[in-house]
């Protein structure tokens, strides 16, 4: 059945039906319009509900009130201090997790013996909530920056290792065997074949898992932090400043979106063959 006939049968507009058809790729303009709509529609709904007074402003502040709160925090310098503190903790913990996870994941994907040795323990640790380690981290590391960074590290390193391992397992064995047949050494196989072939998947893994770090930084900053986006949310909750809570949440989302786009650009520039 053709797209036009199917649209006539269901009563859907032909354009909408074609967008939802399998194998159909919308034009770049349509994709851009849909992306803009995904942001504008919730904003318009929020504005409408707030202006109608359906929900008390104390519980659902208007976009204008949230923007004024955001501008006030930016003017006082508090917002930028919080952003620097939170992003510093996220990048420190996630960088440590990445540096450790990539070589271990590659070795587990290439060597079945290493996988058999490490995978059961890592799989078990992955299901332990990182927040459950907070009491131990405070006992071992105190209440400075170390336990916050360690919490983010623990919350992401095991996922990174297993997902890197899975990415490496998809490297065709023929490539490895051909490289060895041509006289390649183990180091050359790991660096020039396995790592290069799986690099796009590894970058995508990091792009996905850094979102976990942003979730954990809010939890980490509830533990004896003086500055940070999560700490500011806690203070706003204490004084019933929902406008500040919304403002901080929007900032968290915008920073996360910027990081996601940065990883996409990194993938596009470093792995052109896979884009």
**Residue appearing with tokens 């074609």:** 18
Please check the confidence at residue 227 and state whether its pLDDT lies above 70.
yes
Return d(Cα 273, Cα 144) in angstroms, integer.
Answer: 44
Question: What are the b/e assignments for 171-201, b being 16+ CB within 10 Å?
Answer: beeeebeebeeeeeeeeebbeebbbebbbbb
More confident residue, 274 or 28: 28
**Residue appearing with tokens 């590894």:** 202
Give the least confident one: 100-114, 171-185, 241-255.
Answer: 171-185
| Contacts of the segment 69-77: beta carbons below 8 A, 24+ positions apart | 69/241, 69/243, 69/244, 69/246, 69/247, 70/247, 70/250, 70/251, 73/232, 73/244, 73/247
- The CATH architecture one would assign to domain 63-274 is Orthogonal Bundle (1.10)
Tell me the pLDDT of the chain averaged across its residues.
85
Return d(Cα 246, Cα 243) in angstroms, integer.
Answer: 5
Please check the confidence at residue 12 and state whether its pLDDT lies above 50.
no
Q: What is the pTM of this model?
A: 0.82
34 CB neighbour count, 10 Å cutoff = 11
Q: Give the percent of the chain with pLDDT over 90.
A: 40
* pLDDT value at residue 274: 62
Give span(s): CATH 1.10.3720.10, the chain.
Answer: 63-274
């Amino acid at each position: 059945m053709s797209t036009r006939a199917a649209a006539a049968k269901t009563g859907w507009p032909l354009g909408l039906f074609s967008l939802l058809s399998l194998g159909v790729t919308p034009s770049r303009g349509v994709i851009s319009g849909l992306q803009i709509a995904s942001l504008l529609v919730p904003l318009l709904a929020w504005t409408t509900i707030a202006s109608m007074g359906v929900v008390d402003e104390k519980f659902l502040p208007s976009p204008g009130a949230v923007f004024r709160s955001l501008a006030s925090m930016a003017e006082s310098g508090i917002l930028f201090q919080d952003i620097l503190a939170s992003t510093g903790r996220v990048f420190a913990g996630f960088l440590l997790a990445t540096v450790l996870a990539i070589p271990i994941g590659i070795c587990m994907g290439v060597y079945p013996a290493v996988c058999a040795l490490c995978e059961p323990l890592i799989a078990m640790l992955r299901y332990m909530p990182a927040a459950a380690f907070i009491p131990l981290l405070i006992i071992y590391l105190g209440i400075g920056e170390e336990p916050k960074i360690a919490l983010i590290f623990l919350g992401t390193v095991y996922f990174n290792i297993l997902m890197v391992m899975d990415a490496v397992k998809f490297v065709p064995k023929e490539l490895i065997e051909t490289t060895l047949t041509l006289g390649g050494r183990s180091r050359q196989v790991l660096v020039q074949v396995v790592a290069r072939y799986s690099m796009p998947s590894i970058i995508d893994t990091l792009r996905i898992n850094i979102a976990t770090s942003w979730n954990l930084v809010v939890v980490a900053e509830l533990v004896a932090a003086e500055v940070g986006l999560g700490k500011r949310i806690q203070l706003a909750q204490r004084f019933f400043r929902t406008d500040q809570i919304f403002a901080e949440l929007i900032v968290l989302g915008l920073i996360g979106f910027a990081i996601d786009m940065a990883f996409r650009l990194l993938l596009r520039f470093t792995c052109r063959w896979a884009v």
